Structure 1
Amino acid sequence: MTEPTRDERVELALDLLAHLEADELSLAEVVDRIETVTTDPTLTRDILDTAELRGIIERDGGRVRHNRGGTFVRFESQVVQREGDFDCRRCGASISTGHFVTFESGELGPFGSSCIRKVLGRE
């Protein structure tokens, strides 16, 4: 499997931000989600700037408001579970069941059962 390009990572992160369920998060919480796609600080900043330019989010100091587009991740159709030996992209734990989120721009994962809920804002 090839590593996603910079543009592909940006689009994947934008898809993730567009599907967050929380109306407002701290900047740290948003960066935590972006870090499931990239830990490059320059790319993270570019993702935040692009998300704001596209109207996905609004930043106000240390808070980020999500501009609701009516899209949430549907666990039944957009989250796929696979068995195998994985490391969670959020916490790094070894997991035997990986949860992968399928977006138009690509797939994000694997995540453990609790991390998938945190990444998507269900907890």
Structure 2
Amino acid sequence: MTDETVELGVQLLERLEHEELSLAECVDRLETITSNPTTTRTILDTAEMRGVISREDGIVRPTGGRFLQFQSEVIEKQGEFTCKRCGASISTGYFMRLQAGEHGPFGSSCIRKVTGRES
């Protein structure tokens, strides 16, 4: 587990457009960064400690309200990619620009799912 991975996860949670998610849905988003359960728990604990999320009874509520701007903070690149969420081969990759670094690639439907633009 690296500090960069934890920071990337916290920043991802900070920018989600969901009012609330189940813990399973939240872990689904974090699995795009890490599949290590200890790292996932550290990300959730750090995010809660910083006030980025609140957790209660298996529900996670992002408190940031700072959503990603699709024109400036989600960039599109052409190439041969594998989506970080679903594993599909994609020719257009969408990457999130977070302060801790770039996160992606994602396909067009997975980027909307990960950020909370669609359920």
- Please classify the TM superposition score into its range, dividing by the shorter chain length: over 0.9
Partner of 2:69: 74
Runs of 4+ in 1 over 2 A off after TM superposition: none
* CA shift digits 1:3-39 (9 cap, x unpaired): xx71101111111100000111100010001111100
> Which of 79, 83, 92 is the matching residue for 1:84?
79
Alignment of 1:10-89 (within 5 A): 10-67=6-63, 69-89=64-84
Query: Is 1:95 matched with 2:87?
Result: no
SS in 2 for 1:55: coil
TM-score w.r.t. length of structure 1: 0.93
Alpha-carbon RMSD? 0.9
Please give the alpha-carbon distance, in whole angstroms, between the structure 2 residues aligned to 1:79 and 1:65. 22
SS in 2 for 1:122: coil
Percentage of pairs with the same residue = 62
Count of residue pairs brought into register by the alignment: 118
Q: Which amino acid aligns with 2:42?
A: D
Please give the alpha-carbon distance, in whole angstroms, between the structure 2 residues aligned to 1:102 and 1:65. 22
Partner of 1:118: 113
* CA shift digits 1:57-88 (9 cap, x unpaired): 11112111111x33100001011111111000
Q: Which amino acid aligns with 1:72?
A: F
Please give the alpha-carbon distance, in whole angstroms, between the structure 1 residues aligned to 2:62 and 2:89. 31
Runs of 5+ consecutive residues of structure 1 not aligned to the other structure: none
TM-score w.r.t. length of structure 2: 0.96
